[in-house]
Amino acid sequence: MDNDRIEQILNEHQGQAGSLIKVLMEIQEQNHWLPREVLVEVSEKLEVPLSRVLRIATFYKTFSLTPKGRHEIHVCTGTACKVRGAQRVLDEVQELTGIKPGETDSDLKFSLETVNCQGCCSLGPMIEVDGKTHSKISPAEIADALKKYE
């Protein structure tokens, strides 16, 4: 990641312990994961003990302490999508990518996560790849949808 951008985020919040979550979120969004050196730097700049930084960074699934794949797949398992067959969709994605929710494959191609309701329940079951929605998807259509990603 662009170190200048990290520096900039940190400088904006220098000494503001209360901005911890906000800062981690911004870095996660920019870099897609939180390297340990960055967490140390967050701790120093915001004047928050490293233990607290680590606690927050490890507890919430929004944050990742390992690099993510080039493409992030989110399978919605919210209620509406579940009722419309999300589990079979998830099974199929796992089968095709060989990874489980929370994992990244060894070629760093795909990362997989389950998410709760994305607010478009009329499109369920649905998956999102790099933010693009594939709506009313059936297990049979998934291979085709994933083929596009390199």
Q: Please, are residues 21 and 56 in contact by the beta-carbon 8 Å criterion?
A: yes
Does position 31 interact with another protein (CB under 8 A)? The reply is no
Relative orientation angle of helices 139-147 and 86-97, to the nearest 10 degrees: 40
**Residue given tokens 């992030």 in the structure block:** 72
**Which of 22, 117, 141, 145 touches ligand FES by CB under 6 A?**
117
Q: Which tokens go with 76?
A: 């919605």
Does 121 belong to an annotated binding site?
yes
61 binds another protein (CB under 8 A): yes
Residues numbered 104 to 143 that lie near another protein (CB under 8 A) are 115-124, 126, 133, 135
Positions that interact with another protein (CB under 8 A):
16-22, 25, 48, 52, 55-56, 59-63, 77-80, 82-84, 115-124, 126, 133, 135
